Amino acid sequence: METATLDGKAIALDDAYRHAAKILSGAAFPLVAGLGADVAGARAAILLAEQLRGAFDHLASRETLADIDVKRSFGMFTTTANEARLRGDCVVLIGPGLTRAWPGMLERLALSQPPRRGAQAEQPRKVIWLGPEGDEASAVPGAKVIPASAQELSGVLAAWRARFGGRPVALDADKVSLIDGLVETLKNARFGVFAWSASTLDPLAIEMLQGLVIELNATTRFTGVHIGGRSGASGVTQTAGWMTGFPPRTGFGRGYPEHDPWRFEALRLVESGEADAALWISAFDGEKPAWSHADIPLITLAPANAAPSRGLFIEVGQPGVTHDAVLMSQETGGMTLRKASAPTDAPSVAQAISAIMAEVSEGAWR
């Protein structure tokens, strides 16, 4: 049964859509945030934000923009998980919690099997893990573990790159010798792959890593697999890209998209009072907004168990669980249709927004 509540009390679904439309169209600068949605949901949400001349942001934008900032200021080498699996003879995992960010990673990259293509086909795969979390690396027999705390990752990558370039580093001889050994392994790789998640690396560390990739490519082949952010971040970013030219943190106040990672950050817009109404979308797991207090009208689209006690709530289904959904797939690096695993009648984000839009607009383009 589809549900909607207003300040915790049940209201009719039609009334909820009408009320949502009234809140959003009455706002001077409404915000579409969270954006935890499939491609269809993101598409509807962005069209709504455009129609309302508001702004949109995604709940994992910090991570997404860490990768994008490196790409657009420096450049980036990437490959698919499939190529890493088939050809990667030296796979270097960077940082803790990769298996949390991507539960299927170890299986997908087939780390305990040899590569199947290229110069090192059927030779044992070298796996190195810098700074894993707890016993995360024990699932990969033979992996060489280099302990490092999350705070140390940037420094270690800088030291690797310095030694690769033959530059001195202020470390003891033992460590320098360890690093030099590692650098030799990287140089001898035929198709090396770094895997990282921006949830544990800042942009400068990612840039350091990519700088090392470029330098390694002077003589051999090396590339990277980046692990996308939670709540459909990669698919939403791609969708925003073709629709507006920009990733999330984009506003339409002037009637055309402007991208500004500071200006259109959801948290800042709410806490500063610049946004005077918000639509919070979190269809995967009902993650709550990061703002601690908000005096503005709030509409939440989330699964049933995530109803907030305040504001307007409209239940939506979970993408790929309760309804079919197009999502960016970490295992292929491309978009794919995920069939519903436990179908229900709950509306998708796209359907809910479509119902709101029908009450808003100039004759909406959908």
- Distance between CA atoms of residues 297 and 30, nearest Å: 10
Q: Is 80 in the site for other proteins (CB under 8 A)?
A: yes
Phi, psi torsion values for 221, nearest 5 degrees: -105, 130
Q: Is 350 in the site for other proteins (CB under 8 A)?
A: yes
Q: Is 58 in the site for other proteins (CB under 8 A)?
A: no
For other proteins, which is the closer residue by CB, 123 or 149?
123
Pairing of strands 4-6, 312-315: antiparallel
Q: How far is the CB of 310 from other proteins (least distance, A)?
A: 32
Task: Quote the strand ranges of 221-297, DSSP E.
Answer: 221-227, 250-251, 258-259, 277-282
- Distance between CA atoms of residues 235 and 283, nearest Å: 14
Task: Look up residue 156 and give its two tokens.
Answer: 């270690």
Q: Is 126 in the site for other proteins (CB under 8 A)?
A: no
Alpha carbons within 13 A on the beta-carbon side of 279: 39
Q: Is 73 in the site for other proteins (CB under 8 A)?
A: yes
DSSP β-bridge partners for residue 4: 314
Q: Is 344 in the site for other proteins (CB under 8 A)?
A: no
Binding to other proteins in span 9-48, by CB under 8 A: 39-40, 43, 47
Task: Look up residue 223 and give its two tokens.
Answer: 């590339």
Pairing of strands 277-282, 298-302: parallel
Phi, psi torsion values for 338, nearest 5 degrees: -95, 120
Q: How far is the CB of 331 from other proteins (least distance, A)?
A: 7
Q: Is 251 in the site for other proteins (CB under 8 A)?
A: no
For other proteins, which is the closer residue by CB, 38 or 276?
38
For other proteins, which is the closer residue by CB, 23 or 39?
39
What one-letter code names the amino acid at 348? S
Q: Is 247 in the site for other proteins (CB under 8 A)?
A: yes
- Distance between CA atoms of residues 209 and 214, nearest Å: 9
Among 245, 285, 310, 343, binds other proteins (CB under 8 A): 245
Q: Is 185 in the site for other proteins (CB under 8 A)?
A: no
For other proteins, which is the closer residue by CB, 3 or 329?
329
Q: Is 215 in the site for other proteins (CB under 8 A)?
A: no
DSSP three-state, residue 286: coil
Q: Where are the alpha helices (DSSP H) in 165-305?
A: 173-188, 203-216, 233-244, 266-271
Instruction: Give Cα 39 to chain centroid, integer Å.
Output: 13
* Candidate segments 162-170, 214-222, 276-284, 310-318, binder of other proteins by CB under 8 A: 214-222
Q: How far is the CB of 50 from other proteins (least distance, A)?
A: 5
First to last CA, the chain: 26
Q: Is 82 in the site for other proteins (CB under 8 A)?
A: yes
The number of residues that bind other proteins (CB under 8 A) is 67
Among 141, 151, 172, 242, binds other proteins (CB under 8 A): 242
Q: Is 359 in the site for other proteins (CB under 8 A)?
A: no
- Distance between CA atoms of residues 38 and 272, nearest Å: 29
Q: Is 202 in the site for other proteins (CB under 8 A)?
A: no
- Point out which residues bind other proteins (CB under 8 A): 39-40, 43, 47, 50-51, 68, 71-80, 82-83, 85-87, 107-108, 110, 116-119, 121, 190-191, 217, 220-221, 223, 237-239, 241-247, 254-259, 324, 326, 329, 331-337, 350, 362-363, 365-366
